[in-house]
Structure 1
Amino acid sequence: MPPHAYFVVSAIFHYLGPAFAVLLFVRVEPLGVAWLRIASAALIFALWRRPWRVWRVLDRRTRWLLGVWAAVLAVMNSLFYLAIDRLPLGTVAAIEFLPVVALAAIGTRTGRNLLALGLAVGGVYLLSDVRLVAEPLGFAFAAANAVLFALYIVLGHRVAQSPHVRGIDGLALSMLLAAVVAVPLGAVDAAPALLDPIALAAGVGVGISSSVIPYVCDQLAMARLTRNGYALLVSLLPATAAVIGVVVLAQFPTILEVLGVVLVVAGVAVHREAPQRQS
């Protein structure tokens, strides 16, 4: 399959899973759903890849890379669920990409990247102008999640292109570690689902659709695309989230929110990162 096809699958499931998670919030608290997502994905990866066999032969530097990526995954997913419990899915998705564009503008100071940053900032401003007064805490969670999302992309590229571990095996190891990191964050809230077969099955479904399918497709796409090529495709994600929010959750955006998402999509599409150094 071409790398773009992997990305299309990832783009659909990246926010389809969280949309299902929002529906599950009536049975399980957001942090509990986040832990069920991570833990179920970790279990599936463990059965599929048996990542502990790879861990034994890794060097210390690669282990640290996977450990940091695991911590980012655990905290990022928890913050994301706290954010979508308070804000529309499309709004949270748009905010996610502001640090990505800002880092590119700082790293490569070109007119193109300054334009991209202006578009993204303008889009997030429109979104915040609509929602910030009503849900300041939701915006705080979304902003923290956005910073970690930028870090997730950077670390994900390093894992995908690492000569010491295959991308999916690295993902499996990190997800297993992330489930442990997330225990103090959401295990207590997830406990009621263990006695509710419907909630437990739904939590596993969220894990498969949110963390297994899209993350595997991300690794397959990242390994075959340049960082700039991947970043261009990523610009579709805020729009994808907005559409899924409408279809699954009936979160119909206002005209200003639609314009805000469009500006963020344009900003992410326009920006370019610094060329990667050859080692």
Structure 2
Amino acid sequence: MHVTQGRSGGLGLALLSAFAFGGSGVAAKPLIEAGFDPLHVVWLRVAGAALILLPVALRHRALLTRRPGLLLGFGALGVAGCQALYFVAISRIPVGVAILVEYLGPALLLGWVRFVQRRPVSRAAALGVMLAVAGMAGVVEIWSGLAFDPLGLLCAFGAACCQVAYFVLADHGTGGEDAPDPVAVIAHGLVIGTVVLTFFARPWEIPFSGLTHRAALGQREVPAILLIGWIVLVATVVAYLSGVMAVRRLSPQVAGVVACIEAVVGTVLAWILLGEHLGFFQVLGGTLVLCGAFVAQTSASAGGPAGKDGPGGAEPAVVPKAEPLPPAGQVEVAGAG
């Protein structure tokens, strides 16, 4: 009975995390179109969440000396790099396209395992990579010479690479009985991410008076401060924490399947709220990308192209980026969404 309740609760938390992450781009894009620099929006998101979780970071301050490399990698790549590149991407291309490009992460990770680490991958994992790559050709409409802004696509691809870089980092020394508390890693990562972003975003140049104005969310106008509040509280704090609690109750395979809903949520919300419609071949390509990500993620979790439970066991889900989840022994991190 307790197992069933725990599993049901875990599914609910994973769904909450996926929906929360999926709504970040839809809330951020109106602010960007209203005149806010994408890096300013990212800084407000990360700094606001860091302030909320600062007590956790202070309570686990010893982690800074125990795992400095892990925290710096998560803060610089998993938070600053991934989210900044994703927000720059959605300022130039549709939210749905950006989030689908980001779902090349599992395929890129398996490519790292196979060609850089020279470790074998299963046929199912290879099939997942091929599906994801083929689907991406449809998403970007490669036959028309790329239908979207090249810099926007490059930033979305860079966000996916930032995720992979952190997954590779997380494979070194994050397992075992002395694995750090994932909530503490998130808290420190947000603080470090805020510091890193400060050098690039120049928050002293943020037009804070603009937060008292309204921004166009499709055909509606909503207070800009409400959008920022959503991004900080729901799309970051709630999304990260619910993802952490979910991964502790579910297997990596199940959590990874649920996490794929983030891309669907982001695409559908952008379609409904922002009027960013995707064509037939883009929807078909996006479906292939998600199928490929799912196949790559579950085959890696089950067998382990990255070894034992590898980084190939999954993308962490707390991010950029409600991405596929890691084995329970690893540190869960967020994706870009």
TM-score normalised over the length of structure 2: 0.73
Note the alpha carbon deviations across 1:201-238, whole angstroms, 9 max, x for none. Answer: 53233212221111112222233344444333333332
- Match for residue 126 of structure 1? 138
- Match for residue 17 of structure 2? 10
| 8 A Cα contact 2:15 2:259, kept in partner | no
Residues 1:244 and 2:296 are matched in the alignment: no
Identify the match of residue 209 of structure 1 among 214, 231, 234.
234
| 8 A Cα contact 2:22 2:263, kept in partner | no
Residues 1:66 and 2:66 are matched in the alignment: no
| 8 A Cα contact 1:54 1:165, kept in partner | no
- Comparing both structures, which one devotes a greater share of its residues to helix? 1
TM-score normalised over the length of structure 1: 0.87
Q: Trace 1:188-267 onto structure 2 (pairs within 5 A).
A: 188=203, 191-193=206-208, 196-198=211-213, 199-200=224-225, 202-267=227-292
Distance 2:120 2:50 in 1: 36
Runs of 5+ unmatched residues, structure 2: 1-5, 214-223, 311-328, 331-337
What is the RMSD computed on CA atoms of the aligned residues?
2.7
Q: CA deviation at 1:126?
A: 0.9
Distance 2:166 2:291 in 1: 21
Shift of the 211–154 alpha-carbon distance from structure 1 to 2, 3 Å rule, reads: farther
- Match for residue 333 of structure 2? none
- Match for residue 27 of structure 1? 35
Q: CA deviation at 1:156?
A: 7.1
Higher relative CO (CA 8 A, sep ≥ 6), structure 1 or 2?
1
Report the residue type matching 2:158 in the other structure: A
- Match for residue 174 of structure 1? 189
Equivalenced residue count is 276
Distance 2:167 2:246 in 1: 12
Distance 1:234 1:164 in 2: 23
Q: CA deviation at 1:21?
A: 0.6
Note the alpha carbon deviations across 1:33-58, whole angstroms, 9 max, x for none. Answer: 11111111111112xx3422311x33
User: Residue 182 of structure 1 aligns to a residue in which SS?
Assistant: helix
* Structure 1 stretch displaced more, 159-168 or 202-211: 159-168
Runs of 5+ unmatched residues, structure 1: none
Report the residue type matching 2:227 in the other structure: A
* Structure 1 stretch displaced more, 122-131 or 30-39: 122-131
Q: Trace 1:55-134 onto structure 2 (pairs within 5 A).
A: 55=61, 57-58=62-63, 60-72=65-77, 73-104=79-110, 106=114, 108-129=120-141, 132-134=146-148
Residues 1:36 and 2:48 are matched in the alignment: no
User: Residue 51 of structure 1 aligns to a residue in which SS?
Assistant: helix
* Structure 1 stretch displaced more, 259-268 or 198-207: 198-207
Q: CA deviation at 1:244?
A: 1.5
Note the alpha carbon deviations across 1:161-184, whole angstroms, 9 max, x for none. Answer: 873532212211211111111101
Percent pairwise identity: 23
Shift of the 192–52 alpha-carbon distance from structure 1 to 2, 3 Å rule, reads: same
Q: CA deviation at 1:248?
A: 2.0
| 8 A Cα contact 2:93 2:148, kept in partner | no
Shift of the 175–88 alpha-carbon distance from structure 1 to 2, 3 Å rule, reads: same
* Structure 1 stretch displaced more, 118-127 or 181-190: 181-190
Q: CA deviation at 1:195?
A: 6.2
Shift of the 237–155 alpha-carbon distance from structure 1 to 2, 3 Å rule, reads: farther
Distance 1:15 1:189 in 2: 29
Q: CA deviation at 1:24?
A: 1.0
User: Residue 87 of structure 1 aligns to a residue in which SS?
Assistant: coil
| 8 A Cα contact 1:119 1:263, kept in partner | yes
| 8 A Cα contact 1:89 1:245, kept in partner | yes
Distance 2:163 2:289 in 1: 15
Report the residue type matching 1:144 in the other structure: G
User: Residue 109 of structure 1 aligns to a residue in which SS?
Assistant: coil
Note the alpha carbon deviations across 1:236-263, whole angstroms, 9 max, x for none. Answer: 3322221121122111110011001110
- Match for residue 161 of structure 2? 147
Distance 2:273 2:25 in 1: 10
- Match for residue 217 of structure 2? none
